[in-house]
Every structure is written in structure tokens, then in C-alpha cells.
Chains A and B, each alone.
Chain A
């Protein structure tokens, strides 16, 4: 089965079938991460523009690494807010980049919907690398891949997300992806960050908001931690000590979850705030696998959007026989 993707702006509009396809496409690239020689020539001669209008370290490096391992060249833009101050509009900046003829635009922006807006004005594929508090599709995919590898399935799981859900694009992408596979969500954090409206953002997906971590963890198969952004602690002013007391994931609280439960965190981690080092570094933690899988997922995305948009032959990576997973595939 194949699917064609023009852009990857959000996971919300994608079907379970399309999402499964994206995850399956990532498998051979996971395999490549284990090789000593990791570079392919699949996208040789292609250029990927990385336009990060908001500070990012790991996502930018991950996309950059994915592009280079596919053999593509990259052009980098780290604009942040500075170009806005110079008076250039987002569209002008993007048109300028496009005039250098990249084959794909990977874009992060502080404004929700900015990649969607840019894509309406561009004819090259646009990949959303995180937009405001909307979505972070590649993170949602890499989380799902990580869960599938660890638990053997992403179907019908109890998923608990802890932290500032309101302002989290990661949480939204997690919900829109895993929700399509029958997962049930429990969102937990201080009430200002976990408004009831969240229960209705994905019709058909059971989502409940709770405010006691013990209730949130009970019966959880997957625990997704969100970084407590220190800037958010200031709006509204909230005591870090209160947060730790009420919502920090520690080993004792983790015991309330299912015995096989795994812990994900998109990083960067604030050790000692939302999660204790014991849990972050413990056997249930998937933090570093997530990072490794991030490169594989992003290789798959770039491959499908850049290569898939111009040619139809199979890529060399697919000729690498993936090692049989010990778990059943979805």
C-alpha cells in the first residue's frame, strides 16, 4: 500500500491507515540507524530547507541529520523573531528561501498554523516541525513508533499525558495519532493547563481531564511527560514546589501505573521538576529511543515527501531487509 503526501502539516487529518503507513515506512530507516555506515544516496542532489523561526535544538538537528543521511543537502534558516523586527513578513522570508529552489521546506514557527499558511503559498512540500501550540507531527509519529516497538502495539492503550497540555503541540499530535487507534487519554496537570475543552478536541477519542496524578497514573500503559516550560511557570505565577508536590513523576507514583507501563518525554527534560532522575533514567524510560527514532521518522517523512513527489521507484533503504520485530505489527 502506498500513500501520497503533499505536505505534513498535522496528524489530525490523517487516517489510521495513512498513519500506519508512515510508521511502517520508518522501520527500514530505524534499521539504518544501527548500521555503521548510515548515509544513503536516496535524496542526492535534493535540498531540504530547514526554516526554524523559533529556537530549537533537537528537532532541528534531527531533521538535519535525517536529511543528510538521505544524501540531501540542507539550507538553514534560524530567524527567530529577528527578521520580523527587520520588517520582513513570514511569506517574504519563505519566498526568499523558496527562490533558492529547495525541494522541501521544514518549518518551525511560534505561531500556530504558520506552516499551514506558508504551504498555501508554496508548491514545494512543507513539513511542520512544530507550530505554536498546535501540532508537532514528527514528534507524534516518533512517539507512536517508540510505543509500538516497546509494547508491540499502539492499539487500545491507556495513555496518560502529564503537564502543560494546553500549550503543548506534542500532546495534540499524540492525541490525534494514538486516538485513531483506539487509545484512551487521561490528561493531568494544574487546572489552568488542562482545560475541559481538551476533552472534545478529537471527537471519537475518549479523553478525560483529571487533576490528581494518582488518578491519572492508575491503569496507564503509556505515560507521556511534557516539559514544564519555565516560562510557563511564570504565566500564571505557579510555585515550582507546588508542581513537584502535585505532579512530579517519581518512582513511587509510577508504581500506580500498569507494570509494563513506559514513560516518554519529548525533551528537554527538567530533571527534578516534572520527573525524577530515577524515573528518567530507569528501565521504563524511552527517552533516548525517542531521539533515535526521531531521525528514522524524519528520514521517512523527507523520503516520502521529497523522493515520493518526484519518482516512484523503491528507495535503497527498502532493499535493506528489516529485522523481524519481536512484537506483532499493527
Chain B
């Protein structure tokens, strides 16, 4: 048994922000009661959360754990260790591994590896199409049976509108969300950053914001046609957010996520440093402002990291040749505090929602601090200063633009299924 006491519980599901103690028994929450009111057995393990915030376990809807196939960049073991350090209790891993997670055997392999080596829960996302090639539909029912929580051809969109429609139809019948990496690949071809004054000045090929929003427009129309649950991954452009707003206003089952790097950085931050290269690329100042507004007004459902490790040998090349993607787990919470909470844009409660009940809803799950619910908790400080040093990262890779950044607040302990998997 584990008693978390003296903390400030922030729980969006019950809308409670109060000094509560939590008793965990086995893998579940046994009791939640006002501070000092739980009569725990004498041999209980006690975590003193004085001055800390106790939240439901954070969920990351979007991560790349690279196993199987790209173990030199990350493994399920190292990736989930980094996730735990960031306060995440569950991570959804994208299927663009080698082989692609497009059938039940790969899904089972991932879950077996997770069982053996993962620090946090691993929820695989299956490929929408075989090898994510956009030709035939993947073994989605089989993967669902094996344990996937959604489908996606992440790294690229489902190749054609026709196949996207068919996948949505199929997934509606299976009650799985379809996660789209929305990008018109012809508009984005050859681009390495956002198209704007900065790309023009640097002479780097840009993709217009429309490369994303054109595809989001396609997908929300198809969501309306099919009634499917569509989730827009790593949304970065103001115009895309408008599409999601439109879809929500029509009552469509459309959700979206935003990454910490997109609400923190903009295209003007790009020099010729590949740690600032990701897809979708860092967008315009106005796009970032729109994302911040969307995070505040509820249009955005979740903060997701798009944790995308690349070993130095791949990433340390000229900007044009570097692969897209940056680390995300260990800095997500600190960036959310910095950009959203400390700046006064949103409440602590809303931020916790974006990491917990928000992503849970996308997956059709619940996240709640109440008796009988899973013992997944994220305990964090909102104000203690620290500095991120990527060379001390638990990840195998080092591709973070936030190396050396001073933060206020971050994860202090991560509890998964009643067990402390990380503590400072």
C-alpha cells in the first residue's frame, strides 16, 4: 500500500482542487480523503507530497519509441524511462517502427517488450494501412484484439481520401479513433521548415501552413461523412485549428492535440540547427498565438509530445538532410507550466486536463482520482527551478532544442499501477 499525503490534488474529472490524501492498494486507488483523514495501516509506504501537486497519471497520445527496428535511437525501455521522468504514466507509441506495427504479431511484440522492460504503460497505435503505404487496410481488428488503442499512418497522412474514408468507416465499426498526421505531401515535398519570411531568408525550403490545413479540411469532411472519431495529431497551424473548431461546432467526433514545441517555439527560432527541425515544422508567430488560444478555449483536447528520438549520427548533419523530430517527454510538463500556466494563459486545472482527461477522452477512456480507478498518478512541482540537461536524459537520443533551458516546475514522482516508477 502507498499513501500519498499532504499534496494538492488537482483532478479535472471530479473538478477537485483540494488538499487530499490518496491511498493506493495494489494497482488501484483505494481511498481518497481530506488531508490526514485516511487511517492507513502502520506498514504503509508514505509519499509526502507537501508543496506538490498530485494529478491523475499523464497520458501522451503521441510518441515514437522506435522499437522494433530503430533501437539505436530509442527502445521501449529507454523511451518509457524518459516518459516516467516527464511524469507520463502511459504513452501511445506510433506504428512507424521496422517492421511497421500493422498486424497483431507486431502489436504483441511491443506489448511483450513493454511488459518486460517498460517503466510506464505502453499503448500501441496500429497502422491504418499495411506498412503505412496507403494501399491496403492494416490488420486493424486483429491489432485491436492484441491491444492497440487507435490507428494512424503517422509520419504521413493516410495516403488518399478514398482510403482515409474506408479506414474511418472501418474504425467506426470497431470503435477506434483514427489519428491523422495531416499533411498534403505534394505541398510539403522537399520542405524542411515552415514557409515564411524565415525560410525565405535562410534559403530553406518551406512548406506552407496550407500543407497541413488542406489535409485537415479533407479529414474533417470525411469524419462528417463517416461519423468516425478523428483525432488530428500535432496540429500546428491556425487554419487547421479553424477546421477543428468548425467540426466541433457541427458536433463531429473530432479532436486534436498540440505539442509543447509548437506552443513554445516559432519558425523564427530556426537557425541551421537540426534540433529545431520537426514535422510539422515550427510555425508562424500567429499560428502559435492561435494554438495558445485554442489550448485556453478548449478547442485543443490534449498536449502530446511527438517524442521523436534520433541518434546523433542521424541528426547531426546539415539541416536539409536531418530527419524530422525532437525529444519531448522530459520537457513537456515544464514547457506547459512555463508557456501556459506561469504566463497566466490557463489554469493549473486546465493544464492537467490537457495531460489527463483530455487525452483519455480521445481514446474513449477515463482518468479520475477516485476509489476503484487505476493507481496512476503524476506528482509535480509547479515552481521548483531546474535546468534541462539533455546529456543526462534517459532517452538514447539527444535531439532536444531545450537543452540548457531553465524551468520552473516539473515531475517529482510518477506512479503507475500503484508503484512509484520514478521519483526525483
- Residues in chain A within 8 A of chain B (CB atoms): 12, 84, 89-91, 109-114, 116-117, 131-135, 166, 169, 172, 195, 197-198, 200-202
Contacts and interface: CB of A to CB of B under 8 A. Distances in A.
B321 interface: yes
A90 B200 contact: no
A90 B197 contact: no
A112 B202 contact: yes
A169 B203 CA distance: 7
A135 B318 CA distance: 15
A113 B202 contact: yes
Contact of B197 (A114, A116, A200): A200
Contact of A117 (B196, B204, B272): B272
Contact of A132 (B203, B313, B317): B203
Nearest to A89: B317
A172 B203 contact: yes
A113 B197 contact: no
Which of B202, B205, B316, B321 gathers most chain A CB within 10 Å? B202
A201 B268 CA distance: 12
A84 B321 CA distance: 10
B197 A112 contact: no
Given A117-B272, A135-B203, A201-B201, A111 B318 contact: yes
A197 B196 contact: yes
Interface of B: 195-197, 199-205, 271-272, 313, 316-321
A133 B205 CA distance: 9
Given A90-B317, A90-B318, A91-B317, A112 B200 contact: no
Contact of A113 (B195, B313, B318): B318
Contacts of B313: 89
Contacts of A111: 318-321
Contacts of B200: 166, 195, 197-198, 201
30 contacts: A12-B201, A84-B321, A89-B316, A89-B317, A90-B318, A91-B316, A110-B320, A111-B318, A111-B319, A112-B272, A112-B319, A113-B271, A113-B272, A114-B319, A114-B320, A116-B272, A117-B272, A117-B318, A131-B203, A132-B320, A133-B204, A134-B202, A134-B203, A134-B204, A135-B203, A195-B200, A197-B195, A197-B197, A200-B197, A202-B201
Contacts of B272: 112-114, 116-117
B194 to A, nearest CB: 11
Given A90-B321, A134-B204, 14 more contacts: A84-B321, A90-B317, A111-B318, A112-B202, A112-B272, A113-B203, A114-B272, A114-B320, A117-B318, A132-B320, A133-B203, A172-B203, A197-B197, A201-B201
A86 to B, nearest CB: 14
A109 B318 contact: yes
A111 B205 CA distance: 10
A12 B201 CA distance: 10
Contacts of A12: 201
A167 B122 CA distance: 45
Contacts of B195: 197
Which of B316, B317, B318 gathers most chain A CB within 10 Å? B318
Q: Pick the 6 closest A-B CB pairs, nearest first.
A: A113-B272, A134-B203, A133-B203, A112-B203, A111-B320, A111-B318
Contacts of B201: 12, 172, 201-202
Nearest to A110: B320
A195 B206 CA distance: 12
Nearest to A169: B203
B62 to A, nearest CB: 28
Contacts of B321: 84, 90, 111
Contacts of A202: 201
Contacts of A117: 272, 318-319
Which of A109, A117, A166, A195 gathers most chain B CB within 10 Å? A117
Contacts of B316: 89, 91
A169 B204 CA distance: 11
Contacts of B196: 197
A322 to B, nearest CB: 35
A90 B200 CA distance: 24
A41 B196 CA distance: 47
Nearest to B319: A113
Nearest to A90: B318
A117 B202 CA distance: 13
A117 B317 CA distance: 8
A195 B205 CA distance: 13
Contacts of B203: 112-113, 131-135, 169, 172
B280 to A, nearest CB: 18
A109 B204 CA distance: 13
B349 to A, nearest CB: 40
A171 to B, nearest CB: 10
A172 B272 CA distance: 16
Contacts of A84: 321
A84 B320 CA distance: 13
A95 to B, nearest CB: 12
